[in-house]
Structure 1
Amino acid sequence: MKPRELLRAAESFRAADSPSAAVGTMVRRALHATRTDGLLRGAWLGHPLHPLVVTVPLGAWISSAIFDLGTRNEDAARKLVAIGLAATPPAIIAGLADYADLDARQRRIGTLHAVTNTVATAVFAASYLVRRQGKHREGATLGLLALAVVSAGGALGGHLSYAQGAGVRRWPEATGSSPRIAGEKS
């Protein structure tokens, strides 16, 4: 089965419907029409905040793998795993704000995306803990496993955004005009 077919099949994961609807309702109740809602959903930015903030943990974790495999700088790799873990809560919170607006089919993918990334984060946490115990090789192995899992989570997130159109909103331009390309005459 091709990856695209797997992602399409995941849209039919109805076991996620009841818990995902409950989470969506809870998030909507907590955030509806608050300043925090607009902040977390990126109204001020012109697009959802979640894709922007996930770059910090992902960048840290990818960089840790480079240190593990390349320069073998154990201290830098461990610190980067820690930075990724510390940067994860804002990504989760921004993702939950977007999750509240999903339809049932999108929530199925969103739920799988969240669960997959939660597993990856737990494995990164285990990687950090064994690195702290001086077991760098085991920590590096766990880190690479977690990177594979978070990549699957990213594929689900990409499917959610690009194939299903979740989070795609057309924000009105502040000036009412379209953006100009550098050097373009008005």
Structure 2
Amino acid sequence: MDMHALLQKPESADRLDTAADITAGAVDVVLGDGALARGLRGSWLGHPTHPLMVTLPIGAWMSSAVLDLVFKDREAARRLIAIGLAATPPAVLAGLAEFPTLGRRQRRVGLLHAAGNAVGAAAFLIAYRKYKRGRIGAARAFSVLGLTAVSVGGALGGHLSYAQGAGVHRWQVTG
């Protein structure tokens, strides 16, 4: 299976354009191009902040699965899911701040990237609740669904960043 070709498919999905344009317009109205938008986009850092910010929820969720499945520490797994959920909104905001700056083909991929990660976050919220109620089998099932969804979302995000160059060289300083 050619993963690069598979990840390129959303680039030509023009049926996503209306939703992508509405999303970009809404984000632009809310954030504009002020200090908050520039801060979320990473102007202070010299590159987008979103890729850095997603490491906390993804790492917490991966670690929760290891703690539950390998070490049978369900309470620690549940707490790590909570940490991942708490870290998700800032990562989402940083990603949304980037959205209006993307080109048409990038927005198509970005929309699916966001959708996959939204499914993943929702699955982890359900898993958290299932752990809290002692429904371990259901919690594990939703954790696996969440990891699968954020993996697909992450693959699309990687394609957006590395194959499509989203945010690349935006603040490059020439000497």
Q: Where do residues 1-186 of structure 1 align in structure 2 (5 Å cutoff)?
A: 1-173=1-173
Distance across 1 between alignment mates of 2:157 and 2:73: 31
Distance across 1 between alignment mates of 2:17 and 2:172: 32
Distance across 2 between alignment mates of 1:33 and 1:62: 34
TM-superposed deviation, 1:168: 0.8
- Return the letter of the residue paired with 1:71: F
With 138-147 and 45-54 compared, the bigger mean Cα shift is at: 138-147
Deviations 1:81-100 (A, max 9, x none): 11111110001100000111
Distance across 1 between alignment mates of 2:135 and 2:170: 49
Larger radius of gyration: 1
Distance across 2 between alignment mates of 1:125 and 1:69: 18
- Return the letter of the residue paired with 2:48: P
Secondary structure at 1:71 match in 2:
coil
Deviations 1:85-116 (A, max 9, x none): 11100011000001110111100000000011
- Return the letter of the residue paired with 2:100: A
Instruction: Work out the percentage of aligned pairs sharing the same amino acid.
Output: 49
Distance across 2 between alignment mates of 1:141 and 1:9: 29
TM-superposed deviation, 1:29: 2.3
Deviations 1:24-49 (A, max 9, x none): 01212222231101110000011101
Q: Which has the higher helix share?
A: 2
Deviations 1:124-167 (A, max 9, x none): 11111111111123212211221011001000000001111111
TM-score, scaled relative to structure 1: 0.90
What is the RMSD computed on CA atoms of the aligned residues? 1.3
- How many pairs were matched up? 175
TM-superposed deviation, 1:14: 1.4
